[in-house]
Amino acid sequence: MRRYVVVGTGIAGLSACEAIREHDATGRITLVGDEAHPFYSRPGLAYLLTGSVPERGLWVRTPAEVEAIGLTRLHARAASLDPAARTLALEDGRTLAYDRLLLATGAASVPPSFPGAELRGVMQLDGLDQARALLRAARRGARAVVVGGGSTALEIVEGLHARGVHVHYFLRGDRYWSKVLDPVESSIVEDRLERDGVRLHRQTEVRAAVGRGGALEAVETADGERVPCTLLAVAVGIRPRLELARDAGIGVDRGIMVGETLATDAADVFAAGDVAQVLDPATGRAELDALWASALDMGRHAGLAMADAAVPYRKAVPMNVTRLAGLVTTVIGAVGGGKDPDLVTMTRGQSEGWDGRGATLAVDERHGPDRVRVMLDERAVAGALVMGSQLLSAPLVRLAAERTDVSPIRAELAALSPDAALARLIAFHDERHGGRAAAR
Amino acid sequence: MIRFPRRKSAGSAMKDESRAPSAVPEGDDAGLLVLIARAGADGMGPLPTDGERLRLLAGSHVEALAGRCVQCGICSYNCPVGIDVRSYSRRALPVLESHCILCGECVARCPRGVLRFHRPEGAA
């Protein structure tokens, strides 16, 4: 009877357990995780903060479904891994022997490095416990400062704002999420935030957090300004939790290095999810994704490989849908790549695959809050961003995901106005995929 | 210019303006707008008008776009008849559930545009 050990209770770990059980009815699956609450939607924490969903809505499996997997769950933290002996030591002293082991430990927020970071009231958002802490601290009328970038910073801004907190969002640079959005898109988001009552401070940086009796009272900016606040949220990026692998001598770079079976360079040790850095044979690049869909896919493929039912994992063109200042925003492929002074590393809900490369033509249009931007290289749609109305999202995502050869109309697109070029691109998609033309 | 008439939507802290019904073609952009309308008819479109509702009730269901769902649970939480919409959405399965009254709450409230009404053949 094979012994499987899975470290990490996020969607990668869960997907792996389910895939293993599909192909191994009798193997023993032991799931180790340091979170008290397994199997919840981490992206859904944004909506817990705004009040759109209660905690009980976040569990992604019913108790019966978890029961059906047939696993032993240990609420514990892994301490060290011995690949030669095939054992995992836990912090509480127990040791687990394994035949196959998966590291699905995810990523953790880069901690703040300024003085005062240890004060009560300085917070981050990685999981349910911290979301609860943010909610406890979010009293109506209280003042909060948020620093950082990407979707996580905005989730905190919107969540606190929804609870009646006076939110001051500090941008170190000139605009929001310059790593992924272009200046037009940043301004759409910023305008909506300000219109809604969030205070934006550009070119503003926290130099120190100050407090009394161990509790936060204010932040001091690099310009010497003192901003009173009782809550300071920091979301400057995440780092894969790869210490177990690194300390065991397993190959790591920015994440744990894996190939198409999600196997590491240690026998019978696999990695999946935010912690894994997968080599894409098509591009020769190994990039990190901090995306729910990627983690789910990786976890599944790792589980299949562990159960001797391996299917090669092929990285999809990274895609995510998020909500920025109330606008549904779809991002796929290479749309970004600028420097971002608000992020040390990428945030959750982002991918290194979004860094723009080789784009030779941009087609973009904006109508009020609705924004479409398509990045084309010589052959295909390299990336696309659809903000607001999602009417054009499905066809553009399909063109980007399948890397459809649009070179027959490439020259035409370059010569048309943006509206006409988008129409031509959608028509091109419809011709290939038989979009049903219903008269309106 | 594309015009998307605003429609009040429910459930989010920031006003969610992504649910606009399709626009009426006007002027030079009629070509693009007709195409957008076509894309809408393909299923990726706005919520049904009252006039369309009868046709949808007869032959439609809620379907999910794979890859967009993060299993946040807002759909299931808001279903007035208690369907676990998420369990369908996360597996990209259509909600073929006889209790579904096609009220559209899940479609409207999904923060990631995962859910839509399947447009039966021949429906406008």
Neighbours of B18 (CB within 10 A): 26
Q: Which of A177, A200, A173, A166 is nearest to A324 (CA)?
A: A177
Hey, is the C-beta of A135 within 8 angstroms of any chain B C-beta? Answer: no
Q: Which two tokens stand for residue B33?
A: 């707008």
Contact B113 A51 (CB under 8 A): no
d(CA A47, CA A135): 12
Hey, is the C-beta of A54 within 8 angstroms of any chain B C-beta? Answer: yes
Residue type, A7: V
Dihedral, A134, A139, A142, A148 alpha carbons, nearest 10: 20
pLDDT at A186: 97
Average confidence score pLDDT of chain A: 94
Contacts of B40 in chain A (CB under 8 A): 391, 440
> How close A292 gets to chain B, by Cα (Å)?
6
Write the DSSP string, A334-367: S-B----TT-SS--TTEEGGGB--S--EEEEEEE
How many residue pairs from chains A and B have C-beta atoms closer than 8 A? 166
pLDDT at A323: 93
Neighbours of A261 (CB within 10 A): 15
- Residue A247 to residues A12, A257, A258, Cα–Cα distance (Å): 22, 14, 16
pLDDT at A437: 33
Positions of chain B with pLDDT lower than 70, given as ranges: 1-48, 120-124
pLDDT at B122: 52
Neighbours of A357 (CB within 10 A): 13
Locate all alpha helices (DSSP H) within A258-308, ordered by sequence. 292-306
> How close B73 gets to chain A, by Cα (Å)?
5
Q: Which of B47, B49, B60 is nearest to B101 (CA)?
A: B60
Q: What is the chain B residue with the closest CA to A420? A: B32
Q: Which of A297, A339, A292, A347 is nearest to A320 (CA)?
A: A292
- ipTM computed for the complex: 0.88
CA angle A409, A410, A415 (to 5 degrees): 95
Task: Convert the pLDDT of each residue in A194-249 to its tens digit.
Answer: 999 999 999 999 999 999 999 999 999 999 999 999 999 999 999 999 999 999 99
Query: Which residues neighbour A151 within 8 Å (Cβ) at sequence distance 6 or greater?
Result: A46, A177, A322, A324, A347, A348, A349, A350
Query: Which residues neighbour A377 within 8 Å (Cβ) at sequence distance 6 or greater?
Result: A358, A359, A360, A361
pLDDT at A411: 93
**Sign (positive/negative) of CA torsion B94, B97, B100, B106?**
negative
Q: What is the chain B residue with the closest CA to A196? A: B14
Helix (H) or strand (E) segment spanning residue A15 = helix A11-23
Contacts of A394 in chain B (CB under 8 A): 39, 42-44, 65
Contacts of A436 in chain B (CB under 8 A): 38, 41-42, 119, 121
Tell which of A39, A40, A52, A58 to mutate to test the B interface (max B CBs under 10 Å): A52
Interface of A with B in 55-84 (CB under 8 A): 57-60, 62
The model carries a pTM of 0.89
Contact A394 B42 (CB under 8 A): yes
Contact B18 A388 (CB under 8 A): yes
> How close A207 gets to chain B, by Cα (Å)?
30
Residue type, B62: V
Q: Which two tokens stand for residue A186?
A: 């940043």
Write the DSSP string, A223-241: TS-EEE-SEEEEE--EEE-
Return the percent helix, strand and coil in chain B, to nearest 5. 35, 5, 60
Contacts of A440 in chain B (CB under 8 A): 22, 34, 37, 40-41, 124
Q: What is the chain B residue with the closest CA to A331? A: B68
Q: How far is CA B89 from the centre of its chain?
A: 13
Contact B12 A11 (CB under 8 A): no
Contact A44 B18 (CB under 8 A): no
d(CA A53, CA A32): 27
Contact A327 B16 (CB under 8 A): yes
Positions of chain A with pLDDT lower than 70, given as ranges: 435-440
- Structural contact between residues A382 and A334, judged by C-beta atoms closer than 8 angstroms: yes
Contacts of A369 in chain B (CB under 8 A): 17
What's the farthest any 2 CA atoms get from each other in chain A? 69
Interface of A with B in 160-179 (CB under 8 A): 161-162
